[in-house]
């Protein structure tokens, strides 16, 4: 018996599927993947979501106007932790449960952060491009032992970044609105103000939600160390792009690495095309292990909600 339709839109699942989705079919639900490998548009979602009871969602915008057209929708499950793409008030008003998968992709994002750190301070992408173009440009880098890493946001991802970085001899300046008490007791982690973090860090990495205004604005840039580096695997809205571009061009910052964009694929802005900027295609959580964990958890979230509704 068909208990209802469940829409699957994360690109990591819609293109090639995943064994974890079979649990939905086994439970009697019809799984829909009408947009393989691409993020659906608002118009496409309006065509198909109103007929669904469940929604395993990606990073696409889920507006109040869309949800109001979905009287049968009972659950939205994100295969990640961010739900700032969902109108939460509208979902609550409609009686739609919002579920996330905390920690599912933390390791993948943390490992990418460390990879981007090395790519920045050792100019790995630039040197690779240079050699393949027939050139031999040796760019001097720096070693990380004894350097200060500023970690903004000490949730699951931030904590794993700290663990990896301290294991390689880095010192941590951390900032979070809700500090982790266990981290605060460590000798190699200094919870401090945002200003102190920016002043004292050789490299700053962002692992926090976005606010109404950019976190890294002109004031923040001025507070950062001359020649410092910035890594953003969290949210594009955390950055004031024109200000950051000016900082790179002036030499105030030596490099920026980013794995998150306002839209995907992004518009090739002067910032993203800058020679001091390293870009990756939102691959932080795009590992076999992270996808497996997130899929299993998000499917379980859907089934748990629908079983409650059915009972």
Q: Which domain holds residue 42?
A: 4-104+288-310
Distance in angstroms (rounded) separating the CA atoms of residues 178 and 198: 18
Mean pLDDT calculated for residue range 149-178: 96
Q: What is the pLDDT of residues 195-217, one digit of tens each?
A: 999 999 999 999 999 999 999 99
Q: Is the pLDDT of residue 164 over 90?
A: yes
Same domain for 236 and 112: yes
Q: Output the pTM of the full model.
A: 0.92
Q: Is the pLDDT of residue 310 over 80?
A: no
What are the tokens at 85? 């793409």
Confidence band for 64, pLDDT divided at 50, 70 and 90: very high
Same domain for 233 and 152: yes
What is the average pLDDT score of the chain? 95
Active-site amino acid positions: 235, 264, 282
Nearest alpha-carbon partner for 29 in 7, 57, 59, 62: 7
What are the tokens at 298? 């998000």
Q: Is the pLDDT of residue 18 over 90?
A: yes
Same domain for 36 and 183: no
Compute CA distances 258 → 155, 201, 214, 264, whole Å. 19, 18, 15, 13
Nearest alpha-carbon partner for 41 in 14, 72, 71, 9: 9
Q: Is the pLDDT of residue 1 over 70?
A: no
Q: What is the pLDDT of residues 222-280, one digit of tens each?
A: 999 999 999 999 999 999 999 999 999 999 999 999 999 998 899 999 999 999 999 99
The residue ranking higher by pLDDT, 183 or 226, is 226
Distance in angstroms (rounded) separating the CA atoms of residues 73 and 62: 13
What are the tokens at 204? 């700053």
Q: At 274, which CATH number? A: 3.40.50.720
Number of separate domains in the chain: 2
């Amino acid at each position: 018996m068909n208990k209802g339709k469940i829409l699957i839109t994360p690109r990591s699942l819609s293109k090639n599927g995943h064994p974890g989705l079979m649990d939905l079919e086994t439970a009697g639900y019809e799984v829909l993947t009408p947009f393989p490998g691409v993020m659906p548009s608002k118009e496409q979602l309006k065509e198909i979501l109103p007929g669904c009871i469940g929604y395993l969602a990606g990073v696409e915008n889920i507006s109040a106007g869309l949800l109001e057209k979905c009287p049968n929708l009972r659950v939205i499950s994100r295969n990640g932790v961010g739900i700032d793409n969902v109108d939460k008030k509208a979902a609550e008003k409609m009686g739609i449960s919002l579920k996330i998968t905390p920690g599912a992709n933390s390791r993948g994002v943390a490992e990418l952060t460390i990879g981007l750190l090395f790519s920045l301070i050792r100019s790995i992408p630039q040197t690779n491009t240079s050699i393949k173009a027939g050139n031999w440009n040796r760019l001097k880098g720096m070693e990380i032992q004894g350097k200060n890493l500023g970690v903004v946001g000490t949730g699951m991802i931030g904590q794993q970044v700290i663990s990896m970085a301290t294991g390689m001899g880095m010192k941590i300046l951390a900032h979070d609105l809700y500090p982790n008490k266990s981290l605060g007791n460590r000798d190699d982690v200094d919870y401090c103000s945002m200003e102190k973090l920016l002043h004292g860090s050789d490299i700053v990495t962002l692992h926090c939600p976005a606010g109404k205004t950019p976190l890294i604005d002109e004031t923040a840039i001025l507070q950062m160390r001359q020649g410092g580096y910035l890594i953003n695997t969290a949210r594009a809205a955390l950055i004031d792009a024109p200000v950051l571009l000016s900082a790179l061009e002036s030499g105030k910052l030596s490099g920026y690495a980013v794995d998150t964009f306002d839209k995907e694929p992004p518009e090739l802005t002067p910032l993203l095309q800058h020679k001091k900027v390293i870009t990756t295609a939102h691959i932080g959580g795009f590992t076999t292990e992270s996808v497996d964990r997130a899929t299993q958890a998000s499917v379980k979230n859907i089934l748990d909600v629908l079983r409650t509704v059915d009972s």
